[in-house]
């Protein structure tokens, strides 16, 4: 996977990356909308946003192997990779969506395929953390 985005994929009106992760540099807790974001529109400080935000692209925008079902605006989940970990942040307004198909089966497959090389999948729903595999 490369840091480049897949042709034809963009954030659109999705603002999950401004809502779900903790962003220390902005003193933004997890599962709270960033004070610099307008839901459905985006970042109000976009030209001056921190490098952490500037460099971030969710996995759906970078990995063409992920189908349209993984579009964060549709799945209510944001995925990214950090070292051996595939992180899945689930919108707390849709806490059970990750257990539905095709999501759970795909995450189990990723965990099984990655196990031999130390990769794993972690799902965060609010304060709940689940390791897949």
Predicted confidence (pLDDT) per residue in 11-24, tens digit: 889 999 999 999 99
Is the predicted pLDDT of residue 4 greater than 90, yes or no? no
pTM of the prediction? Answer: 0.92
In a shared domain, residues 45 and 67? no
Distance (Å) of CA 117 to CA 6, 79, 102: 26, 20, 24
Residue 83, token pair as written in the block: 């070292």
Does the pLDDT at position 119 exceed 50?
A: yes
Residues 35-93 have pLDDT tens digits of: 999 988 899 999 999 999 999 999 999 999 999 999 999 999 999 999 999 999 999 99
| Structure tokens that stand for 60 in this block | 């759906």
Q: Is the pLDDT of residue 2 over 70?
A: no
Q: What is the average pLDDT across 3-11?
A: 86
52 and 111 assigned to the same domain: no
**11 CB contacts (<8 Å, ≥6 apart)?**
17, 42, 61
Shared domain for 107 and 76, answered yes or no, is yes
- The band of 133, judged by pLDDT with boundaries at 50, 70 and 90, is confident
1 within domain boundaries: no
Q: Does 1 score more than 50 pLDDT?
A: no
User: For residue 100, what is the DSSP state?
Assistant: S
Both structure tokens of 32: 């709270």
For residue 3, the model assigns a pLDDT of: 60
CB burial class (10 A; 0-12, 13-18, 19+) of residue 5?
Answer: middle
Residue 122, in any domain of the structure: yes
Contacts of 37 (CB under 8 A, 6+ apart): 15, 18, 19, 43, 44
Q: How many domains does the chain contain in total?
A: 2
Containing structural domain, residue 92: 57-133
Within-domain flag for 4: no
């Amino acid at each position: 996977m490369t840091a480049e985005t897949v042709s034809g994929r963009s954030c659109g009106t999705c603002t999950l990356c401004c809502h779900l992760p903790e962003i220390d540099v902005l003193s933004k807790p997890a599962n709270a909308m960033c004070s610099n974001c307008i839901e459905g529109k985006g970042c109000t400080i976009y030209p001056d946003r921190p490098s952490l935000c500037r460099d971030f692209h969710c996995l759906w925008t970078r990995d063409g192997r992920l189908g349209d079902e993984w579009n964060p605006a549709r799945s209510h989940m944001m995925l990214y990779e950090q070292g051996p970990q595939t992180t899945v942040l689930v919108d707390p307004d849709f806490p059970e969506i990750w257990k539905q198909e095709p999501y759970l089966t795909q995450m189990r497959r990723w965990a099984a395929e990655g196990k031999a090389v130390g990769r794993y999948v972690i799902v965060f729903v609010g304060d709940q953390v689940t390791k897949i595999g």
